[in-house]
Amino acid sequence: MSARFRPLVGVILGSGLGAVADAVQRPRVTSYTDLPGFPRPTVEGHAGQLIEGTVAGVPVAVLQGRAHLYEGGPIEAIRAPVRWLRAAGAEILVQTNAAGSLRPEVGPGRLMAVTDHINLTGTSALVGPNDAGVGPRFPAMGRAYDPALLDALRTAAATLGIDLAEGVYTGWLGPSFETAAEIRAIRVLGGDAVGMSTVQETIVARHCGLRVAAVSAITNLAEGLSDVPLSHEQTLADAARAAGDLSRLLVAAIPLLVTGTC
Ligand code: HPA
């Protein structure tokens, strides 16, 4: 039997951001239903699949589909894919997500590199017994988003002429969007964007020793900053607008991310 494929980089794709998966060369696709602990399909029919292959010559594992806290499923569905990546040999996790912007000048269709996060979900995927073989009971979250990986994203964006914003991502439990007052509060707290994913995976990834980078595709201005009513349909439509740029950005950034890793 041949040795198992060893990804160096894991990529988690957010809602409507599937275009990145098309960039994987010689893809090998595995359904989440064949992977223990991974998210099961939801009523909304989110497909979940793992795509292994290469991007610009770098071995990657792309996770298309993620579990969200608001779905109310087992927390293992958030933990398992991240820990699977680490166990498979990955050293870097790149996350993408759809997010609302709290900065009027960073509007729909823009990309924002995540510099840090604020977890307002009220929980952590690490609540419960700790497996010391995976990571420490109290993992530090300083530099949760790796400065060297952020630099690689900046370089790739500059090369491509993509105007990459930077800011703090705020994790929101959902499934309701925020009120205008909540958005004003998040602004005071220091949030630049808000979304319903990413922070839990970052916590799990740092716990097990993965370096993390994340990019938000801005799909809307947050509640109270514009008259456009928020809806999931609008989020998906605007995510599709940003998906092309995001795909180009990741393809250019992936070889830069692993410099010094191999
Ligand atoms: N709030 C929370 N999650 C989101 C938003 C938002 O405005 N846009 C996309 N995901």
| Ligand 1 centroid distance, CA of 92 (Å) | 25
Q: How far apart are CA 188 and CA 194, in angstroms?
A: 13
Nearest CA to ligand 1 atom 6: 100
For residue 149, give its domain range. Answer: 9-127+139-259
Q: Where in the chain does DSSP place strands (E)? A: 9-13, 25-31, 49-55, 58-64, 92-101, 111-119, 164-171, 193-195, 211-221
Known catalytic membership, residue 68: yes
pLDDT of residue 40: 86
Inform me whether the pLDDT recorded for 47 exceeds 70. no
Q: What are phi and psi of 78, to 5 degrees?
A: -85, -40
Report the atom number in ligand 1 closest to the C-alpha of 239: 9
Is residue 98 domain-resident?
yes
pLDDT band at 1 (very low <50, low <70, confident <90, very high): very low
What would the mean pLDDT of 138-164 be, rounded to a whole number?
A: 97
Inform me whether the pLDDT recorded for 111 exceeds 50. yes
The residues, any chain, with a CB within 8 Å of residue 261's CB and separated by 6 or more, are: 8, 91, 92
pLDDT band at 46 (very low <50, low <70, confident <90, very high): low
pLDDT band at 44 (very low <50, low <70, confident <90, very high): low
Known catalytic membership, residue 232: yes
Is residue 208 domain-resident?
yes
Is residue 110 domain-resident?
yes
Round the average pLDDT of the chain to a whole number and report it: 93
Q: Which of 56, 141, 185, 232 is catalytic?
A: 232
CB 107 within 8 A of CB 25: no
Quote the percentage of the chain above a pLDDT of 90. 82
Known catalytic membership, residue 15: yes
Is residue 190 domain-resident?
yes
What would the mean pLDDT of 97-117 be, rounded to a whole number?
A: 96
Q: How far apart are CA 115 and CA 146, in angstroms?
A: 8
What would the mean pLDDT of 78-105 be, rounded to a whole number?
A: 97
pLDDT digits (tens, 9 = 90+) for 192-235: 999 999 999 999 999 999 999 999 999 999 999 988 888 888 77
Is residue 106 domain-resident?
yes
Peptide bond into 81 cis (omega under 30): no
Protein residues whose CB sits closer than 6 Å to any atom of ligand 1: 98-100, 172, 177-178, 194-196, 219-220, 222, 230, 235
Nearest CA to ligand 1 atom 5: 100
Distances (CA, A) of 246 to 30, 109, 112: 23, 10, 10
| Full-model pTM | 0.95
The structural domain count of the chain equals: 1
pLDDT of residue 240: 77
Q: How far apart are CA 228 and CA 108, in angstroms?
A: 11
Is residue 3 domain-resident?
no
Q: Which of 21, 52, 61, 68 is catalytic?
A: 68
Is residue 79 domain-resident?
yes
CATH number where 190 lies: 3.40.50.1580
Is residue 105 domain-resident?
yes
Is residue 187 classed as helix, strand or coil in its secondary structure?
helix
- Top pLDDT among 5 and 187 is at 187
Q: Tokens 């494929």 label which residue?
A: 5
pLDDT of residue 169: 98
